[in-house]
Amino acid sequence: MEKRIRVLVAKPGLDGHDRGAKVVARALRDAGFEVVYTGLRQTPEQIAEAALQEDVNVIAMSILSGAHPHLFPKVVDLVRKNGMDDVLIIGGGVIPETDIPALKEAGVSEVFTPGTPTGSIVDFIKANVK
Amino acid sequence: MDIVEELLKGNRLALSRAITAIENEYDDAVEIMKKLYPHTGHAFVLGITGPPGAGKSTLTDKLAKAYRAQGKTVGIIAIDPTSPFTGGAILGDRIRMNGLTMDEGVFIRSMGTRGSLGGLSHKTADAIKAMDAFGKDVIFVETVGVGQSEVDIVKAADTTMVVLIPGMGDDIQAIKAGILEIGDVFTINKADHDGADKLVRELNMMLDLDAHSEQMTQNSTEKALADQFHHLNVAKHAAGAAWRPPIQKVIASQNEGVAETIENIEKHFKYISENGILQQRRTERSKNEMLDVLHNNIGTYITRRLADTGELEEYVGQIKRRETDPYTVVADIMRDMLKE
Ligand code: B12
Ligand SMILES: Nc1nc2c(ncn2[C@@H]2O[C@H](COP(=O)(O)OP(=O)(O)O)[C@@H](O)[C@H]2O)c(=O)[nH]1
Ligand SMILES: [Mg+2]
């Protein structure tokens, strides 16, 4: 058996800040994960479909523009509708602390804000991936 | 979820799960393949290879759109290298294919090489079969470079396209032997850059030389050597006039030369179909498949048994102390096994 953790790193919405997503993608690769990166400006539908075709274990979304309250829950919703109940969904970027409880309520397992050491992202995935 | 039943009904998640089972060598993978096998053998498989950054993914995107416009369904397997140090990989081919994601007639799967050279070709072949059984009409397999592992993967393809770009300098010399052997169709991408015509000329020269030297070596002592080297292409010259790989200049990013490329691909497919070469290649493939499974299973079986009984460790110790050698040991093992 050669199971390897597969992660989709996605940038939903029109936000063009991709440094964080790339930093995270590289850190996850260095941790031994297979990282599918789909680039900028993805719709929630595209993210859910890519996750399905790639059969990823984790969806990691990055938003710095402020569009997270709408986009993150939308992706969770679509992914669950596709029957992918086990996928771990996490997010990061410029996200006010006050928004985080609602995102978690919506099914985002954890949210990582600026300054997060990438090691803690790796640890979280390893501890929570199914 | 019954993966096979659902896959055959057209459930995309089931196809995805089947490929995961193949990739991770889950216990149910063999059962899945057994049940899918009767439903395979219908798809046209196109191998796309070339150096990193040549525009393979960009071109794949355009080719896929063109085939979709013909009403054909498309599967894409995009393979990227796994880091030998960390085991991780960034699979970035989808970046060039975002326009295909929401087309239900297209299914894209990214795979890492995972450092398993022989194993990869085996897994790729099975992933192709899963897509084939799912009902895809055309399946693209994109691989980086033109090393040995690619040659193996290319064995799974009906037609192989090599994508090159101008400005590779001496690289073309270095990879010459490899590309000449595996390319059925050549694409010079990034024709908007300087040097495309020069590359076309060079490649033309090499291909003509190659065809020429093959005639020259007929009946000579070099022939055996050449045959070995050309094992992939033995079928090329089997019947009728030999296939001379066409070369097409393309600007994938601007969708230029794509229609002509498809014409070349279709011409090649027609050629191999009409000359019995396709049948020969597929027969060869069936043989390879069987032998692959045979070698794999026997190897695993014997290894496991030796490990379980502790003999493995014992033999290794003896070999290390130079009391015996690997050849004698294996001959002994084989004799014992065959006696049973
Ligand atoms: C660099 C930068 C830019 C660069 C972007 C370059 C690029 N290609 O990425 C440029 C100059 C282009 C730019 C442009 C703009 N920017 Co700007 N930009 C920044 C800045 C200064 C730093 C962002 C950054 O790259 N950080 C470095 C990376 C590594 O950190 P990070 O992304 O935060 O990622 C870390 C964590 O958040 C987390 N993480 C992030 N994503 C994810 C995802 C997952 C899954 C996980 C687990 C973790 C995780 O892990 C990372 C490592 O710790 C921020 C301010 C700030 N301090 O954040 C503003 C900022 C994001 N920009 C802002 C704005 C407004 C803009 C513009 C609209 C400005 C304008 N009016 O033109 C444009 C819009 C651009 C666009 N097309 O979307 C605002 C956003 C405001 C908001 N959210 O309400 C910010 C917050 C500045 C501010 N305080 O106002 N920007
Ligand atoms: N100038 C030019 N750039 C191209 C062309 N085709 C692809 N590219 C760019 O080349 C880069 C690598 O392309 P990609 O398809 O990812 O290459 P791959 O690694 O071979 O799959 C991308 O930035 C493409 O936009 C082309 O015909 N001309
Ligand atoms: Mg590519």
In this predicted structure, the answer to whether residue B218 has a pLDDT above a threshold of 90 is no
* A75 Cβ below 6 A of ligand 1: no
Q: Which positions ≥6 away from B253 have C-beta within 8 Å?
A: B55, B58, B192
Residue nearest (by alpha carbon) to ligand 1 atom 19: A17
Taking residues B283-294, report their average pLDDT.
Answer: 88
Between B190 and B236, where is the model more confident? B190
Per-residue confidence (pLDDT) for residue B235, from 0 to 100? 43
Of A36, A43, A45, the CB nearest to B110: A36
CB B17 within 8 A of CB A83: no
Of A2, A29, A54, the CB nearest to B90: A29
Residue B157 in tokens: 């393809």
Query: What mean pLDDT value characterizes chain B?
Result: 86
Taking residues B124-151, report their average pLDDT.
Answer: 87
Q: What domain range is A10 assigned to?
A: 6-128
What's at A88, amino acid-wise?
Answer: L
Per-residue confidence (pLDDT) for residue B293, from 0 to 100? 85
Counted domains in chain A: 1
Interface of A with B in 1-20 (CB under 8 A): 1-4
Cβ of residue B103 closer than 8 Å to a chain A Cβ:
no
In this predicted structure, the answer to whether residue B247 has a pLDDT above a threshold of 80 is yes
In this predicted structure, the answer to whether residue B325 has a pLDDT above a threshold of 90 is yes
| Interface-testing mutation among B16, B96, B102, with chain A (most A C-beta atoms within 10 A) | B16
Q: Side-chain half-sphere of B260: how many Cα atoms within 13 Å?
A: 14
| ipTM score for this prediction | 0.96
Distance B279 CA to ligand 3 centre (A): 30
Residue nearest (by alpha carbon) to ligand 1 atom 5: A17
Q: pTM of the predicted model, to two decimals?
A: 0.91
Q: Per the CB < 8 Å rule, is A46 touching B89? A: no
* B56 Cβ below 6 A of ligand 2: yes
CB A59 within 8 A of CB A90: yes
Closest among B15, B147, B155 to B73, alpha carbons compared:
B15
**Homologous superfamily of B40-275:** P-loop containing nucleotide triphosphate hydrolases (3.40.50.300)
Residue A31 domain-assigned (yes or no): yes
In this predicted structure, the answer to whether residue B220 has a pLDDT above a threshold of 60 is no
Q: What is the C-alpha to C-alpha distance for residues B83 and B112, in angstroms, rounded to an integer? A: 9
Question: Using CB atoms within 10 A of its CB, is residue A94 exposed (0-12), middle (13-18) or buried (19+)?
Answer: middle
Distance B320 CA to ligand 3 centre (A): 44
Distance B52 CA to ligand 3 centre (A): 7
Per-residue confidence (pLDDT) for residue A94, from 0 to 100? 97
Q: What is the C-alpha to C-alpha distance for residues B150 and B326, in angstroms, rounded to an integer? A: 30
Q: Which of A85-99, B122-136, B289-303, B322-336 has the lowest mean pLDDT?
A: B289-303
Taking residues B202-228, report their average pLDDT.
Answer: 60
pLDDT tens sequence for chain A (130 residues): 457 899 999 999 999 999 999 999 999 999 999 999 999 999 999 999 999 999 999 999 999 999 999 999 999 999 999 999 999 999 999 999 999 999 999 999 999 999 999 999 999 999 999 9
Taking residues B187-214, report their average pLDDT.
Answer: 84
Between B225 and B265, where is the model more confident? B265
Between B230 and B95, where is the model more confident? B95
Read off the pLDDT band of B238 (50, 70, 90).
very low
Residue A94 domain-assigned (yes or no): yes
Q: Which of A27-41, B150-164, B182-196 has the lowest mean pLDDT?
A: B150-164
Q: Which residues of A touch B19 (CB under 8 A)?
A: 55
DSSP A41: -
Residue A117 sits in a domain whose CATH number is 3.40.50.280
Residue A1 domain-assigned (yes or no): no
Residue nearest (by alpha carbon) to ligand 1 atom 26: A20
Per-residue confidence (pLDDT) for residue B169, from 0 to 100? 63
Per-residue confidence (pLDDT) for residue B61, from 0 to 100? 98
* B63 Cβ below 6 A of ligand 2: no
Ordered by start, the domain boundaries in chain B are 40-275, 294-339
In this predicted structure, the answer to whether residue B230 has a pLDDT above a threshold of 50 is no
Q: What is the C-alpha to C-alpha distance for residues A24 and A30, in angstroms, rounded to an integer? A: 10
Chain segment B92-134, per-residue pLDDT in tens: 999 999 999 999 999 999 999 887 655 677 889 999 999 999 9
Taking residues B68-94, report their average pLDDT.
Answer: 94
Read off the pLDDT band of B205 (50, 70, 90).
confident
Residue A112 domain-assigned (yes or no): yes
Per-residue confidence (pLDDT) for residue B207, from 0 to 100? 83
Read off the pLDDT band of B240 (50, 70, 90).
very low
Distance B90 CA to ligand 1 centre (A): 22
Q: Which positions ≥6 away from B119 have C-beta within 8 Å?
A: none
Per-residue confidence (pLDDT) for residue B319, from 0 to 100? 95
